[in-house]
Amino acid sequence: MKFFECGLVVGRFQVFHNGHEQIVRTALSLSKRVVLLIGSSQECGTEKNPLSYEQRKEVIGTIFRRFVDSGRLLIAPLPDLGVGNVPAWGKYVLSSAFEVSGVMPDLLVSGREERRINWFDSECPPVNELYVPKSIDVSASLMREFLLQDNYPRWCEFTNPLIRKLYPSLRQSVLLAQGNASTMSV
């Protein structure tokens, strides 16, 4: 039995790791359908955002292939809006999810981040928020460091075996982005 009609997961996923996977699996376990929005989708080739939207979608789609194929997981881009973490951003996120699924999300599943507290105000449609406690001491920044250092064993500790074949291309993108701090964000 699924408690929510439409779950929502939002992140840059620069680089997707087991903590991210746990958040997505939690959303899928509670929702009939989940919209996963890949933030800063217009960004790639920078130190902070080395991977393209297509690479991030491929990684997530590889792990969750059966959910994508069945239509239970919808993956879509979420370009930056340029307003920061304010209610305008929350409205933009919800409307973007609605455009993808045709249903207003009724559950946001995420890691606990203070900046998300200001996403939704009284003018936004009601959305339940579930914060998944951090059970793995990992971050996307650390994952990028493992790729930079070519530390495949450590990178593997925090990734799903299904995406390990993507290591060379992910590493190449991270290496090429070194020293590039430019951004396409508004």
pLDDT, tens only, 19-42 = 999 999 999 999 999 999 999 999
H or E stretch covering 110? strand 107-111
Tokens of 125: 């449609």
| Predicted TM-score of the model (pTM) | 0.92
Q: Match domain 4-177 to its CATH number in 1.10.10.10, 2.30.29.30, 3.10.20.520, 3.40.50.620.
A: 3.40.50.620
pLDDT at 153 over 90: yes
Single-letter code of the amino acid located at 148:
L
What pLDDT is stored for residue 186 in this prediction? 45
Average pLDDT, the chain: 90
Residues in the chain: 186
pLDDT in tens, 81-110: 775 656 688 888 999 999 999 999 999 999
The DSSP annotation for 28-42 comes to HHHEEEEEEEEESTT
Tokens of 119: 């996403």
What is the distance between the alpha carbons of residues 74 and 167, in angstroms, rounded to a whole number? 24
pLDDT at 124 over 90: no
pLDDT at 10 over 60: yes
What is the distance between the alpha carbons of residues 74 and 59, in angstroms, rounded to a whole number? 14
Report the pLDDT averaged over residues 152-164.
97
What pLDDT is stored for residue 185 in this prediction? 56
Report whether 59 contacts 99 (CB < 8 A).
Answer: no
